[in-house]
């Protein structure tokens, strides 16, 4: 992008995130029974819950279909969770129409090739520090944080601070774990 990504932060109303490699570090632990376990960052959880509470649209679109992921995200107040979405662009388009949202107001964070086309349809494509080169090449912002290590908190906090909605010293009774 020719302009700084910071110029676009004030128009963001919607956050869309991939799961594996963004909300998680991209690793999967497999138990002896075949259950696949992922780890999510508690600070990312706080930022997601804060964005929901402040009235932002928060959506998750992932090719994975782990029910534990759905439960974790729903517990943070996220209602728009699309798991098993192998056509992310179609899912995003349908979501934007259903919510009457504009592409330019969407921040999308992805990390790998399945996110490439959908990221090109958003106003602010972003990625974690450890995203693949093809995703870094199209991202307006590359977080200094890795996937699952605070990159989601990084972008949400930046947007909310620019818009005067980040509350650094408020107490919250919400549970993030």
Q: What is the pLDDT of residues 153-163, one digit of tens each?
A: 999 999 999 99
Domains of the chain, first to last: 8-162 (3.40.50.1000)
What digits encode the pLDDT tens for the residues 142-154? Answer: 999 999 999 999 9
State mean pLDDT over 105-126. 97
pLDDT of residue 72: 96
CA distance 16 to 127: 11
CA distance 1 to 158: 18
Does the CA dihedral 36-29-24-75 come out positive or negative? Answer: positive
pLDDT above 90: percentage of residues in the chain = 84
Nearest to 23 by CA among 154, 164, 157: 154
| Residue 75: pLDDT over 60 | yes
State mean pLDDT over 23-47. 93
pLDDT of residue 177: 56
Q: Other C-beta atoms within 10 Å of 41: how many? A: 22
- Give the residue, 111 or 173, on which the prediction is more confident: 111
Q: How far is CA 116 from the centre of its chain?
A: 14
| Residue 9: pLDDT over 50 | yes
pLDDT of residue 173: 47
pLDDT of residue 52: 98
pLDDT of residue 1: 38
Averaged confidence pLDDT in the chain: 92
Q: Other C-beta atoms within 10 Å of 40: how many? A: 21
Taken as a whole, the chain contains a residue count of: 177
- pTM greater than the 0.75 cutoff: yes
DSSP assignment of 90-141:
HHHHHHHHHHT--GGGEEEE--SGGGHHHHTTSSEEEE-TT--HHHHHH-SE
State mean pLDDT over 18-41. 93
Name the pLDDT band for 176 (thresholds 50, 70, 90). low
């Amino acid at each position: 992008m020719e302009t700084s990504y910071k110029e676009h932060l004030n128009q963001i109303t919607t956050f869309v995130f991939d799961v594996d490699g963004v909300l998680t570090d991209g690793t999967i632990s497999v138990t002896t029974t075949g259950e696949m376990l992922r780890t999510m960052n508690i600070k990312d959880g706080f930022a997601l819950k804060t964005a929901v509470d402040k009235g932002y649209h928060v959506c998750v679109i992932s090719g994975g279909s782990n029910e534990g992921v759905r439960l974790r995200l729903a517990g943070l107040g996220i209602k728009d969770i699309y798991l098993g979405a192998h056509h992310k662009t179609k899912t995003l388009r349908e979501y934007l129409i259903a919510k009457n949202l504009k592409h330019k107001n969407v921040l999308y964070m992805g990390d790998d090739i399945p996110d490439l086309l959908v990221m090109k349809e958003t106003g602010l494509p972003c990625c974690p520090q450890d995203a693949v080169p093809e995703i870094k090449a199209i991202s307006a912002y590359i977080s200094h944080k890795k996937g699952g290590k605070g990159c989601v908190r990084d972008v949400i906090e930046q947007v909310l601070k620019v818009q005067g909605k980040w509350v650094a010293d408020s107490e919250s009774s919400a549970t993030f774990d």
